[in-house]
Every structure is written in C-alpha cells, then in structure tokens.
A and B are shown apart, each in its own frame.
Chain A
C-alpha cells in the first residue's frame, strides 16, 4: 500500500471493501477482512485490497494501468472444446522468485474465485504452471476420456480421464461438471505433455508452481467469456503489482484471435442529476473527479472509465455508490422523511390478537414452534393420515422436511418434553400452516389449544370452544366425528356456516403413548383464517 496505517484505522479500511475487520494478529502481522460483496472478486486478494486502499489513502489516483509486453506465445483452441468448455484466456508472468507466502495467497485468490464467482469451477477454473517446463504452443482441445493418460497432481500413477474422475479426490468433487459430456477438455503443450484436465486437476509434472520458481504460465477456462477474461485481468493486475513482467498470449480460436490479457476498460456515462438524485449530494465536477479517482476510476467530462478488474458495473448507480463510499457514508448528512402516511397492519392481525387475548385470559401459556416439521410428528405419532403436505425436495435434516399442516402435534411435542413440570399444563400455539390440495397450496392461520392434567376432558375443550365463540360472536355447531387421534365418542368437528373449521376432543391413549405422555390431554384446534372470513362477513 505504501503507507503505514494504525490498527484502529483497519476497521475503517475494511468498510471501504464492504467488509468487516475479522481480526488482526499482532504476532504475525496478519489481517483478516470478512467481505460481504460476492460480486467484487478482485478484492479477494491482498493485491486487490491494497490497490483499492492506495487510492482511498491518496497514494495513487485514477485508473491504474499495468504494463504488458508482447509475448510470442500462443494457445491453439480446437473446435472440439466449443461444446464443452469453450473459452480460455492466458498470459505469462516472469522475473520474480515466488515464496511460500506468495503461493499461499495466490492459491487463496484462485480457490475463492473458482469456488464463488466461478460457481464451484463450473463457470470458471484457473490453472497456474511453472513456465519453464512448458513448450509452446499450448493446445486446448476436447478428447475422449480413455484416449488421454497422465499423472494427476498428488498421485504417482498414470490414469486416464475417467479414472481421474472416479478416483482422484478432485475428480470426485468436480466430476459432476462434465457428467453430460462424452469428451473432456485437456491442455497439452508443444511436446504433447498434458498440462491439465480443466476444470478437474493439473498434471503432476507440469501443473504446479513451486517455491523458487520465477516464471509463471497462467490459464483460465470456462463457459462464460466475460468471466474468463475478468479472471485473467484480476490475476494480471495482482502479478504485475507483485513485480512480475507480463507477456501476452495469443488465443487462436478456429474463427478468431484474442490477445490476452484483454485489459480493455469499459466506459460509462453518468450525469450530475443522477448523482444528486441518488445521493442527495450536490458535488462539484472537481469533487466528483477526485472521489472517483480515489476509487480507481478515471473521470473525464462525466465519462467514467472502469478498471478492467471490475465486471460488476452494470448501471451508473454502481459507479455512484462508489462515489458515496469514497465520500464516506458518515460524512453524508441525513435527512428525515417528510411525507405523511398512516400505518396499518394486516386485517387478520387484529382478529388473531383478539383470539389470542381470549385464550390467554383463560390461563393458557402461549408457545411458538418452527413451521418446518416432519411426517412422523404430524401424522405417524398422531395416528392420522397425511391429506396434503408441502414437502421439501432437498431437506437438510429429516426433522425439518415438511411444512406443518396443523398445530396440535406441536403442542403434543411440548407436553412430551415437560412431563416433570408442574401440572396443569395449559398451552396453546397460534401460527401459520400450509395445506396442499393436489397442485394448490394455501397458508392458513390456525390455533391449537391443549390442556393436560389428571382431569382434562372433553368438557374442558368444549367450554373453551364455547367461550371463545361467544366472545367472538360467531355461531357454530359441532358434529360427532371419528378422528384417529381422538377417543371415539369424545371427538367432534366444528362447523361454521357449514364449513369444517376444526375439531375438539380427548386425545386417544395410543397417541399419548406414542408421545410418552402420561397425563390425559384435551385438545381444540381451529382454523383462524376461516373464522376471520366469517367474522368479516358478519360485520
């Protein structure tokens, strides 16, 4: 960076990178930044962060250019890769001995880039090689898996490409990327030696950079050309700033040629109105220029040149955000909203609160459970059948593999976990459930009210139902019902305007046994959304 900074200003420095200071280790002088922005991969390297902060601190100004000499190297791209992994960019960096610290940082940038921005290597993967072992031109082609054999990095035996996918750890990790293809991409040098098998693994003989090497061949392949070019640019800047001398590599596609790295900077026009409109700041041209230059842009009569290591700028607002960051958020005076608006909650919320208030008045303790549950809890233990549940395809844990359809099982679970707590246990939960009727999915607010003590019975549940409906002014009827989880003859369904909206009764001893509950339980569950619809109609 060319500047000493204090430990306390590290925190401020991190904010310019849209991150937080993770920690600073005094002993090793190592700083960790935790970065938020997944769209600014150039900051995933010490060189990128230093470059940004040099601008912020005024050590350098404006768009930084790097020197690249014309190289006599080429990569020949065979037509066969066009359907598999069509794009490649490359360059050569010479003249600087690498040490272990440098290799570590280089690998960190490589891995973070390929993993995040490169979509776990699918979109972009990067290879670094010791230049002196490679004979140019390098060719990039697709080959039948069994036709190419080489020793992959970290192994001592030769394998063909399918064997690598099956047996090499990286093959197991990234083989899925190639599963739909019959031929796989390979990079081969002028001697016919394999450099690598992108995006899986490099060769053991050519595919590594070691301490003491001073010349590097960089290559990046992928399925999205702008991302491939961006990766090459980010590495070119990083290596150039590390003191390497860069040389171009000519990529020869069957139909065109591309000299890499492509350090072209795009331009974008912004307006003063846009700056004023978005930030509420009236900046003079000279101020605007200064701020943009601190952030590594160049600014010329409202035309902004974007550094080649950034691909996140889509809209003038992206540039203007950087103006605000360079200006310092804390320097921007705040303004209060002035227009009047009256607040109101969802119509159902007021109704729900009335219902809860009535039930709490009866002495019930409210609970709140996760909405995700599982079929064993919802149906098996409750001795009842699934009549339509939203299930998760890719659940992490079977415990949370479906969206709940009713709430009484949640209360049963609570009772089962509190067998040694004072009775009576009177609990309720009010919350959302989701029901699925074939292809139709709907959310409902429900309430389940449960009472457990030695005298808990149907009468108690019915008393609660009648009290609640009386308070809400809703008329209802109950009909005897056979429900697997309630004792026959002590079970009823609740109807309002001929619509079935819930049930009440004594939980069957079989269900209690399934939950390991040793006290009688009386339960009442109602669809609050349905009650609300009725109450609205009544009004």
Chain B
C-alpha cells in the first residue's frame, strides 16, 4: 500500500467520489450506491488504496449527526408534536415486531436467547444515512410514505439509548465495558453512576441542550453574525454540533439525537437558513465518506468463504424487515403505494448495527467470528437498499400514471412557502415590506442588521440573517416557490449580484430590483430584471410635483405632468439602456454621467414638450 498521508487519503476518497457518484447518478442509481461502489473499488478488495479504519468510520458517522441536526432545523416543535402518533405508533410497532421476530427465529435455530435478543435489537434499526439521503435526493420528504419513514427512523434513534443500556446486561462473560462510540480519550460521566442518577444526568443533559438552544445560542450567533466573518459563523455552527455531540456521548446518549433536539429548538431561529447552508456541505461530504467506508468494509473473502450463509443472512434480514414494514404500513392504513415506498426505503440494516455489533463483541455477548458475518450482512443489505429503492421507482412508474408525489396537506414537514422574498430591509426595503405585509401577503425578509431582525420578529415576519446573495440561502428561503423577489439592498454591487444569481437560478421568479442610478438601472434591465426602480426617482418626482404646485400649477395638472414625465423618462430608460449598454463608451466611465445627463436633458427639451398633452378639457 502506498504511504498514507492525510492529503493522499483525501485525494483517494475525493477522487473515487468524483468519478463514481456522477456515473451512478447518470445511470439512475442514486448517489448512495455511487459512494458505496467507490468504496468497493478503492477498498482492500479493489485497488487497495485504503483500509477501513474504525476512525474513519466514526468520523464519517458524524455526517449522520449533522444530518439529524439539519432535519431538526426543518422540523418545528409543532410539527414534531403532530407526528407523535406515527412516531410512537408506527415506530414502536416496527421496532418491537422486527426485534421480536428476529429474536424468535434465531432462537428457533437453536441459538442462545441472550444472543438472539441482541441480534434482534441490532437488526431492528434502519439506515438513517441511506434513507434520509435518498429522500432528500428524490424529494420524498413530503410524501406520506416519506414522513412515515422519518417517524420510524426517529423512534429507532430514540431506541438506541435503551439498547446501549440493555446490551451489557446480556453479556455472558464479565468483561470491562468499553465505550466503543467515543473511544478512550473522551470524557464519560456515566462510568460509576447508579441507574437513577444516570437517568437524572441524561435528563439534565437534554434539558441543557434545550435551554441553551432557547436562550444562549441565538444571542451567541448574533454576536458571531455581527463580526460579518462568514467562516467564524461556520466555525460556530460546527463547534455547536460537536459540543452537543460530545455532551451526548458523555452521558451515553446518541449524539444524533442530541443534535436533532438542538436542531428542533433552533428551527424557529432567524439563523436557521444560515446554519443549514453552512452545515450542508460538511454533512454531504461526511455522509459520502460514510457510504464509501461501508463499501470499503465489505469483506469479500468472507463472502467467498461462506456464500450461502451470508446470502441467507442478507435475504433473511431484508425479508423480515420488509415483511414487518408491510404489516405496519397496512395496520396504520396508509395507501398501498406509500406502504411500498415506506417498505422499500426502510428494509436494510443500520449504521448503528456496526457500532452495536462491535459493542456486543467487546462486551462478550457475541464472539468475533459470529460478529463478522453479521457485519457483512448488514453492509450488503445497505448495498441492496438503493437497488430496492430504484426497483420501487420503476414499479411505481409502471403502475401510477402521474409520477408526481402528492404532498399531504395536514402535517407537512416542509414549511408553507412565502409569497414574497425581500432582500434587504433598510430604508428602501422597509417601505416595500411594510406595504406588502400590511396587505396580508406572506413575506420572508433577509437582513444583516440583528436589531432589525429582532424588530421584525416581533411582527411575526419570517426573518433570516443574510443578504440573499447566496444560492443556498435563497433556496432555503423558498425562492423556487415564491412568486416575487424584491431586491432592496443598499449596496449597488450586492443588488446586481443577487439579481444575476436569482435570474439565473430561479428563472420563474419575478424580480424587482432597486437601482442606485440610471446607469445601474441599465445594467439591471440588461440582466433581465422585471421591474427596476431607481431609489431616488419616486421621491424626487413627488417633490417635483409639489414644486410645480408651489409654482402655481393645479394639483391635478402637476400630478399629470409628473406622471407623464415618469412615463417619458421610463421609456427613455428602456430605450437608452439598449443603446448605451452595448456601446464602447460604456466602458469609459469618465464623464459618462454628465454626458448622460446632457443627452437626457436635450431629449427632455425636445421631446417632452412634444408629448401629447391635455388638448380638450376646456369650458
């Protein structure tokens, strides 16, 4: 093997991902399978670039932790509350039925009950990483089956806590429990504590996360936001997740669950979108790494040695899980199509299984040679998962005429989308925003001034920290579904930047932009902005009308003169933008504004007086 520097490893992993994933996507296999295949060919049974080290696997599992944080962010507490029936009903039923059945069958094969129970508990969870990644990729989160899957996954995450507590009790040999998940040098508060106080510590830890989320994190992020340094904000977000994960591990809770709770608490925060877009790339890469590790960890030697045992275990695992899921789906009266989606999504082993199996081995519940085939079976079931999901899609296409996934109205996970997005809530945006909000339209506001954000939140507006010049933030704010985007930022370059981005990425969005001056207006028109308003024009025109009245004009006469002038100027703007923007002169900025003005005033003198006035209206 070639010398493994960190950079070289990074090179190999990224290279494998960059090659495999696009090909897999192109072939319609989805990114998960792409990563797994990448893992197989760089792994010990492929090109032997990497060996799977536990460390990498653990590091990669952090992707799952981040993913649950992100999901928490999307899920307001109220939505979580609405899910309680499917969470505990479907989740509980799936978990106990699967665990019970696997345990019973294992015992029927003559295995020890403790061993059987451990296998049952380990078989019950499904792979959060695969399922959520797939659902996000295919946009299934808002389907009935997607939500049911999510409820079940959440229950499984909750169940990990008691399982970790239960497994050592099943140990046949007395061995020193080793905390597999955290490794040796992390702190553990639970080592010597009696049961009642460890429960108390767990509750305290969760309480701490909730309280910190409510009262501490927002002010802290505001402070970070005020530095206007993006990387500091990103660092804060990462630090936040890592510290929660560490805290959870210290009390033997699932870090994923802890960050999920933190996410839910922060779902109402104005920094939600910023957090989302900061964490998203890390999550994606880490999950990719995780799937690569799964691929690389597949032990082909073992498979060749015991093909029937391994194949049997895989089929057994997938078939039992699928059977139970079918029953659960129909008991809870979901539509047949959604039951199928739900079944195909969840019928695989979980990444927790790797952890729990290793944990069982060190606790002496299972022997190492018993664990290895099980690990392989779980890994292979994960390879099978994307294939099952693809086959569901193919069948679905055959049997349903429309391929649209109808989202359910009542307890939708995704937020209802705003009607208008306003980027910038300074002196200009405020007027637009107040008018639109006062008329009862839903509005999402981007602003970078924390005190402004506070104020707006008092009026129940959707406010987010940021300036709207980033694609991910715009998308998070619902730019793909909103009807209009008002760009009201103070900064000229920022306005142009947002307009260019929004026009390119969201061609359906109707864009209204604030222009600093005439030349900026030309530029925005050229970019394809639908409505351009020069920031000073409206108020100056109003003043002009009042000046005419003060000079002796009738109010209506001044009104008409002003409005005619607006039309005249506007036509000139559209007309001249075509001529001037294309000319070479445009590039020579010197004297151009005065030249513009001279040309414009000449046009005013000649043409405005020719403009059709009010000929009648006598006597």
Asked if A pairs with B, the answer is no
Write the residues of chain B forming the contact surface with A, with a CB cutoff of 8 angstroms.
none
